[in-house]
Amino acid sequence: MSVVVVTGGARGIGAALVRAHRARGVVHCVEAVYPQLRQQRAGHLVLMGSLAGILPVPAMVPYSAVKSAVVTLGTALRVEARRYDVRVTVVAPAFVDTPLLDHINPGLPATRANRVGVRLVRQLQGRPMDPDALASRIVRALPRDPELILAPRPIAQVAVLGERLVPGVGRRVSAFFLRRYLTMREPES
């Protein structure tokens, strides 16, 4: 076993309680694989976090909380795993063009997020990142053993640096975009 990618994503699940279960799913995967990597004293564990797990995203509180747990798990485990020659990297992309963006909270009745959320995403980031481009970025970065892979660059890097240096600014920017989201007109049916 050389590289293990762990993600909490699942189709058809959108309720906040089940999202909390996703963090447990990531933990269970790590618990299942990490002992083997430790025993063989080699391997690279890649955890799929999100930029929302590093930056405050008020309109996505359950998602942000779960992804924050994944980021913390990965960064803490990286310190421990080093002594076993196991590498740990957390991937923290902004919005990626996946079915999740077209079907926010799948399996649940449509909400305001379904109607205006994707428009706001495009205003914040432009086009969501292509999943294949993200996968290529991850594969290219892994030989350098990064603690964190942020994407898209430089937007994500500037956002994280700003949040770490001046945390209040990140929260004010989040509040600004939350107000914008709440006042966006819904598309005509």
- Measure CA 33 to chain center: 21
Residues 125, 152 contacting (CB under 8 angstroms):
yes
Tell me the C-alpha distance between 91 and 49, whole Å.
5
Annotate 32-41 with b (16+ C-beta within 10 A) or e (fewer): ebbeebbeee
* pLDDT of res. 169: 76
Q: What are phi and psi of 21, to 5 degrees?
A: -65, -30
Q: What is the per-residue pLDDT across 67-91, written as a single tens digit (0 to 9) for each?
A: 899 999 999 999 999 999 999 999 9
Range of the domain at 121: 3-183
- Reading the block at residue 93, the tokens are 């992309």
Does some domain include residue 114?
yes
Does some domain include residue 188?
no
Tell me the C-alpha distance between 18 and 115, whole Å.
22
- Reading the block at residue 151, the tokens are 């994407």
- Number of structural domains in the chain: 1
User: pTM for the whole thing?
Assistant: 0.78
Q: Is the dihedral of CA 147, 153, 156, 160 positive or negative?
A: positive
CATH assignment at residue 32: 3.40.50.720
Does some domain include residue 128?
yes
Does some domain include residue 105?
yes
Q: What is the per-residue pLDDT across 7-58, written as a single tens digit (0 to 9) for each?
A: 654 433 333 434 444 567 788 888 888 999 999 999 999 999 988 888 877 6
In order of 7, 24, 70, the CA distances from 28 in angstroms are 11, 6, 12
Q: Is the dihedral of CA 31, 68, 91, 146 positive or negative?
A: negative
